[in-house]
């Protein structure tokens, strides 16, 4: 069975965006972005909430001028080669290739996708991921903690669910970002 991987860039105080919805503080350095690329290669399908998909659809463009570097261009290729599932009750349609729109996160459907997948699934967006955590479907958590405190916003991890994590890996980057990878303990 494929794993469901949750990955988030977060502030040191645990938020993916600040109180105004900004994540400008979270732009990864080339070193961090190259590391992310290596991690994302195992993902065959991304499962996104609407807001996360709206951010990530930037990578659907084939315009080479939109890539800041070879690392950015490589991520574009990784993202474009994966399937996407967008969970949204408000979108009428999606306009990126290899993308399916579903109305709700159905735990049974996600479990079936994990069982049938030949590659890992990534879940993006903390609100959607919280639903998957509550359903007991997340297998691994990767956090890229930026050395900034934003004081509020959208939490990276659910506040209403206990998630028992086991540290599996850690790495510190030159810019002070800390990568923490956890396995989710079975319940």
Write out pLDDT tens, residues 124-172. 999 999 999 999 999 999 999 999 999 999 999 999 999 999 999 999 9
Which tens digits make up the pLDDT trace of 53-102? 999 999 998 877 777 799 999 999 999 999 999 999 999 999 999 999 99
Is 28:9 a contact under the CB 8 Å cutoff?
A: yes
Spatial distance between the Cα atoms of 47 and 117, rounded to a whole number of angstroms: 13
- Using CA atoms in the order 90, 95, 98, 104, what is the torsion angle rounded to 10 degrees? 0
Counting DSSP H helices and E strands in the chain, the numbers are 5, 10
Check residue 65 and give its pLDDT.
75
- DSSP classification of residue 65: G
Mean pLDDT of the chain: 95
Q: Record the tokens describing residue 96, joined without a space.
A: 């990126």
By CB atoms closer than 10 A (0-12, 13-18, 19+), residue 174 is: exposed
62 in helix, strand or coil? coil
State pLDDT tens for residues 98-128: 999 999 999 999 999 999 999 999 999 999 9
CB 150 within 8 A of CB 10: no
Alpha carbons 61 and 38: distance in angstroms, whole number: 21
pLDDT tens-digit map of 24-55: 999 999 999 999 999 999 999 999 999 999 99
- Alpha carbon distance 187, 146 (integer Å): 30
Question: pTM for the whole thing?
Answer: 0.94
pLDDT number for residue 186:
84
């Amino acid at each position: 069975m494929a794993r469901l991987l949750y990955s988030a860039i977060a502030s040191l105080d645990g938020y993916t965006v600040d109180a105004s919805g900004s994540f400008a503080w979270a732009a990864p350095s080339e070193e961090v972005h190259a590391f992310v690329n290596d991690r994302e290669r195992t993902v065959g399908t991304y499962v996104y909430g609407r807001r996360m998909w709206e951010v990530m659809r930037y990578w659907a463009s084939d315009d080479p001028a939109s890539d800041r570097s070879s690392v950015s261009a490589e991520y574009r290729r990784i993202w474009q080669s994966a399937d996407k599932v967008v969970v949204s009750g408000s979108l009428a349609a999606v306009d990126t290739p290899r993308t399916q729109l579903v109305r709700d996160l159905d735990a049974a459907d996600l479990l079936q996708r994990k069982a049938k997948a030949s590659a890992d699934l990534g879940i993006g967006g903390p609100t959607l991921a919280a639903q998957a955590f509550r359903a007991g479907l997340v297998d691994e958590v990767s956090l890229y903690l930026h050395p900034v405190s934003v004081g509020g916003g959208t939490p990276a991890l659910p506040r209403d669910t206990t998630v028992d994590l086991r540290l599996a890996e850690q790495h510190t980057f030159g810019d002070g970002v800390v990568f923490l990878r956890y396995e989710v303990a079975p319940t």
